[in-house]
Chain A
Amino acid sequence: MLHDPFIEKTFNSLPVQVAVFDAAGCLLKVNRLWEATALFTNEFTPFKVGTSCLEHFRLKALEGNEYAARAYGGLSDLFAGRTEQFCLEYCVGDGSVTAWFLMEAAKLHEQGGGAVVTCTNISSQKRYELQVERAKQEALAARDELNEANIQTGIAIEIANELNATLHLENRNKNLILSTLPSVLIIVDHNLVVTEWTGGSEQVFGVPAAEAVGRKLTDVAITVSWAELANAVTRCIANAQTVRLDDCRFRRVNGTDGILGITCAPMPLASSDDVGALLVGADITQRRALEGQLAHSQKLEGIGQLAAGIAHEINTPSQYIGDNVRFVQQGLKSICDVISVIREFTDNHNSQQAQELLKERLYEAMRTADIDFLMEELPLAIDQTLDGIAHVNRIVRAMKDFSHPGSDHKVCSDLNRLLDSTITVTRNEWKYVADIETFFDPNLPDVPCFPGDMNQVFLNVIVNAAHAIADANKSRSREKGKITISTKQTDVSVLVTIQDTGTGIPPNARAHVFDPFFTTKEVGRGTGQGLSISHNIIKVRHGGKIWFETECGVGTTFIIELPLGDGHSEERK
């Protein structure tokens, strides 16, 4: 059956990883996706055709892997015919979260039995679950603080429950379903007059449908950044295209500022031939806050990893500053000894004989003091001390720049300086494996950005480059690699290029580079969040682009493009 070309083709184009086993648990076949994603799959399920998966899991379970123990138990039952199905969520990566998979196994009744096992990467769901869990925790915490919040949380939970229930009932009254949706659902006609005000609109804005329907959208009694919203809706209707607003600020029912995420889709109107717009949106304030927290925690993690390196960077100059200053102290004492003899020599007008004696003593004092050595070395010792202090200052200043608390608004920043700080604080991560060469455009204009976020992106990319070079150095000669960082301006944007001479990204990992929790590094060297967060920072927070060019064995170049801004979307400080 498996050799039928049609089945074969279908089998190979399935969007999930599939493996087929015979009745004894021996692997018959895996599909193409399974092979293509072997990078991850192999860690937990490195099946070989003809070998038993039960034996594999039994051995792995003996090593103490609890997922393997569960897989072994479940699959044994399945192959023994005690159960029909089995599923297991497991995590790949030793302890720390790297990637989550869902394994589903089902008994085959044809062809003498056997089983089909599929594996699905559920890392992003897991991440979402994590966020939801945190959101829930926050909601619970907020409940304790505010009574008002208490009511809101109650409502939210009710709506969510009701929605869940509703969705399971088919063909229920459409309006009922719409009214229970937590999302904002607004329909406006071509004159921006509201025709539908439903879903969560009442809850989110605190305005009942009766007071909104029939009015012009801009006249409804809500506080929202109208310019942006109206602009989006007008563009949507005029160009008949979907327009997305990610950062629409509005006043929430409780009076606090919130962020609304809205999609405007062109919508033919029932009443006329004109085209109106459907606005679907949600209060994403909480999500934004969570994203912010996630990014912040990744940043802290980055700083934590750097801390040991920075300590090392500071300890080294401290060592030679101390040594040099102590040397100056000793040297000064020796020089004073010489000077006291000179004083005697010049102050006293002694006999010729006494003068001769003093001269002898002077020579002796100079010899003891090692005066030639001191004259040569003291200035050097002072210079190097000052160098050392400058070095420590530079690190401290870069640290300060780097740990910039971040502002709510974009700030026009000098990317060259941000890069410089990041290079300084990460020095200990790369200096043993690579040299960094910079080609900064001296005339680079300031770019509106969140400097703290940009530092984080640069940190992630530079540390990745250093790791890739360290891996490459292992296999080739042990010479240092090179990281080349350049900045330049185009008509509308600024480009930052970070190029390394590392291993390059293997073809099967390229598509996943920006996926959350994706990592090819060993445990403890990264959580797989760095580039995913960087991607988010560049794309969502800055409306820019980040991409890479890579060749195995040659290296990888990351390119970051930030728009220069046209003067109205960012606030200058």
Chain B
Amino acid sequence: MRRILFVDDEPRVLQGLARTMRNLRDVWQMDYVDSGEKALALFDQSPYDAIVSDMRMPVMTGAELLRKVCDLYPQTLRVILSGQSDKQAILKSLECTHRYHAKPCDAESIVQVLNDAFETLFSGATILRAKLTGLRNLPYRMDTGTHIKNLCSTESPAPADLTKIVAQDVALSIRLLQLANSSFFGPPGTVADISSAVMLLGADGVSQVNEIVQQRQLEDGSCTPPTQDFAQNIGEHSYKVALAAARIARAENCSDASVGEAFTAGILHDAGRLALMACEPTSYEQMLIECKGTGWDIEQVERHLFGFDHGDAGRYLLSLLGISKSVVDAATFHHRPRELNASEFSAAAAVHVADSTLRGITNFIDCANDHSIDVDYLEHIGCADRLSLWQQKTIEELPV
């Protein structure tokens, strides 16, 4: 039975929740406390699978509580349920929160958020869960950070310009999508596209998130050269893949929304590599060096070393943060698209071809020969004859 702890300083909110949630008492074991201290004391007796906390509370705020839970019980799913409408305050809890939910909301939507996240939480291998749930942030590019800061300090920066820079950093893009998909900014789980996320949050929102991510990076000391280089490599490669995937989708006469989705999936497709780097910086770096030029299948090596590969890691992490499923699938099945069981063209095919083609011709981090294109899959979705056009689309406009 899943164990969930609700924390809110207003006892009537807790009682209301307890009443509506009672019909789930056979499925979940739920406890309710009115302060962060009491919550931690209960965790001390026996950790919960999920914590749903209010934000503004006297003495210990929700953000502080979730930070402690993240440190002490990294495997717990962390959800904010807040009536706060002040953007700044919401952003304060950014680094330790998987899901945000705005008050007032009905019990079903909380249940849905929890179920949705639980599905991810308990789908992956235990080892995956242990490592990725407690992850606070991914390696982030300090250079894009500075760009964004500069751009945001100008008067009314154009959203398109902002998106262009944001899209070059994977960690920041993920944070923006996570926020845009929370119920603070509209119906949850509906923003599949990074440029919509940028529009929704606005220049000051982007700038604030950027600053928080940057600050965090400086604090945890992960802006060291190897991590920075890695973030930069992944960022640049992912941006190329994103542009190429968008061109491919456009060549297939997709709607603007689908083109945006392909673009966004391109940005996020290697999120798992960053996650692995963040979890196991030393051994992941070692692995990259040792694999170089060997022709080994990088995913197989990852599975061997860590118990899961970067596709799994990305899928797990992105789903946990509430990023829409279609994007997550397109992004994270890029090595094994046939596992999606699709029968027609989708963003996944565009990302697969763009990524494989680019890794074949550019000097990307791992030069393993795992960049082969799955022709059978293309045949299955009826796009085998489009391959040469797509490859051409991928390499056009490629900076020499």
**Count of A interface residues, CB-CB < 8 Å:** 31
Stretch at the interface among A13-21, A26-34, A324-332: A324-332
**Given A319-B105, A478-B59, A480-B58, CB of A308 within 8 Å of CB of B20:** no
- Fill in one digit per residue for B105-122: 1 if any A CB lies within 8 Å of its CB, else 0: 111000000000000000
B19–A312 touching, CB < 8 Å? no
Give the residues in chain B near A326, CB-CB below 8 Å.
20, 106-107
* Cβ distance B155 to chain A, nearest Cβ, rounded Å: 13
Q: Please report which residues of chain B, range 110-169, place their CB below 8 angstroms from some CB of chain A when the two chains form the complex.
A: none
CB closest chain-B residue, reference A479? B59
Q: Which residues of A contact B17 (CB under 8 A)?
A: 320, 323
* Cα distance, A321 to B102, chains bound together (Å): 15
Which residues of A have CB within 8 Å of B104? Answer: 315, 318-319, 321-322
We find that the number of chain B residues with CB closer than 8 angstroms to chain A is 24
Q: Does A439 contact B (CB under 8 A)?
A: no
Contact (A318, B103) CB under 8 Å given A323-B16, A327-B19, A432-B58: yes
Question: Beta-carbon contacts of B9-42 to A below 8 Å, as 1s and 0s?
Answer: 0101101110110110000000000000000000
Q: Say yes or no for B57: interface residue by CB 8 A criterion.
A: yes
Q: Which residues of A contact B20 (CB under 8 A)?
A: 323-324, 326-327, 330
Return the chain A residue nearest B54 by Cβ: A316
A492 within 8 A of B: no
Which residue of chain A has its CB nearest to the CB of B21? Answer: A323
Return B183 CB to nearest CB of chain A, in Å: 12
A:297-323 near B, CB below 8 Å: 308, 311-312, 314-323
Give the distance to chain B from A163, nearest Cβ to Cβ, in Å.
39
Residues of A near B85 (CB, < 8 A) are 308, 311-312, 315
Check if A324 sits within 8 Å of B16, measured CB to CB. yes
Instruction: Please determine whether B13 and A312 come into contact, CB atoms closer than 8 angstroms.
Output: no
Residues of chain B within 8 A (CB-CB) of A324 are 16, 19-20
Q: Does A387 make an interface contact (CB < 8 A)?
A: yes
| Known contacts A384-B12, A384-B15, A432-B56, A308 near B103 by CB under 8 Å | no
Q: Is B282 an interface residue (CB 8 A)?
A: no
Tally inter-chain residue pairs, CB-CB below 8 A: 81
* Nearest CB in chain A: distance from B287 CB, A: 41
Q: Are B84 and A312 in contact, CB atoms less than 8 angstroms apart?
A: yes
B86 at the A interface (CB under 8 A) = yes
Residues of B within 8 A of A387 (CB): 12
- State whether the Cβ of A6 lies closer than 8 Å to any Cβ in chain B: no
For residue B83, CB closer than 8 A to chain A, the reply is: yes
Q: How far is the CA of A380 from the CA of B22 in the complex (A)?
A: 15
Give the CA-CA distance A433 to B61 in the complex, in Å: 12
Are B86 and A320 neighbours in the complex by a CB distance under 8 Å? no
CA of A314 to CA of B20, assembled, Å:
20
Alpha-carbon separation in the docked complex, A381 to B58 (Å): 25
- What's the minimum C-beta distance from A308 to chain B, rounded to whole angstroms? 4
Q: Which residue of A lies closest to B85 (CB)?
A: A311
Q: Which residues of B contact A317 (CB under 8 A)?
A: 12
Shortest B83–chain A CB gap in Å is 3
The answer to whether residues A377 and B19 also contact, given A311-B85, A319-B103, A326-B107 and a CB cut-off of 8 A, is yes
Q: Does A388 contact B (CB under 8 A)?
A: yes
Q: Are B83 and A315 interface neighbours, CB within 8 A? A: yes
Q: Which B90-110 residues have C-beta < 8 A from chain A?
A: 102-107
Tell me the smallest distance from the CB of A442 to a CB of chain B, in Å: 30
Is B56 within 8 A of A323, CB to CB? no
Residue in A312, A315, A319, A431 whose CB lies within 8 Å of B16:
A319
Chain A: minimal CB distance from B331 (Å): 34
B83–A316 touching, CB < 8 Å: yes
Look across to chain B and name the residue whose beta carbon is closest to the beta carbon of A434.
Answer: B58
Q: How far is the CA of A7 from the CA of B230 in the complex (A)?
A: 65
Flag if B84 contacts A320 (CB, 8 Å).
Answer: no
**Residue numbers in A under 8 Å from B59 (CB-CB):** 478
With beta carbons under 8 angstroms apart, the residue of B19, B23, B83, B102 that contacts A323 is B19
Report Cα–Cα, A316/B16, bound state, in Å: 11
A115 to B86, CA, bound (A): 49
A320-B12 CB under 8 A given contacts A330-B23, A480-B58: yes
Cα–Cα distance between A317 and B8 once the two chains are bound (Å): 12
**Cα separation A388 to B12 with both chains bound (whole Å):** 9
Interface readout for A417-448 with B: 1 if CB under 8 Å, 0 if not? 00000000000100111000000000000000
Proximity bits, B66-93, A CB within 8 Å = 1, else 0: 0000000000000000011110000000
Contact B16 A327 (CB under 8 A): yes
Contact of A384 with B16 in the complex, beta carbons under 8 Å = yes
Closest CB of chain A to B151's CB: distance in Å?
15
Write the nearest CB–CB distance from B226 to chain A, whole angstroms.
Answer: 29
Chain B positions near chain A (C-beta within 8 angstroms): 10, 12-13, 15-17, 19-20, 22-23, 56-59, 83-86, 102-107
Having A308-B84, A320-B12, A327-B19, one finds 19 other A-B pairs with CB under 8 Å, namely A308-B86, A315-B83, A315-B84, A315-B102, A316-B13, A318-B83, A318-B103, A322-B106, A323-B16, A323-B17, A323-B106, A326-B107, A327-B20, A377-B19, A380-B15, A384-B15, A387-B12, A433-B58, A478-B59
A residues whose Cβ falls under 8 Å from a Cβ of B: 308, 311-312, 314-324, 326-327, 330, 370, 373, 377, 380-381, 384, 387-388, 428, 431-433, 478, 480
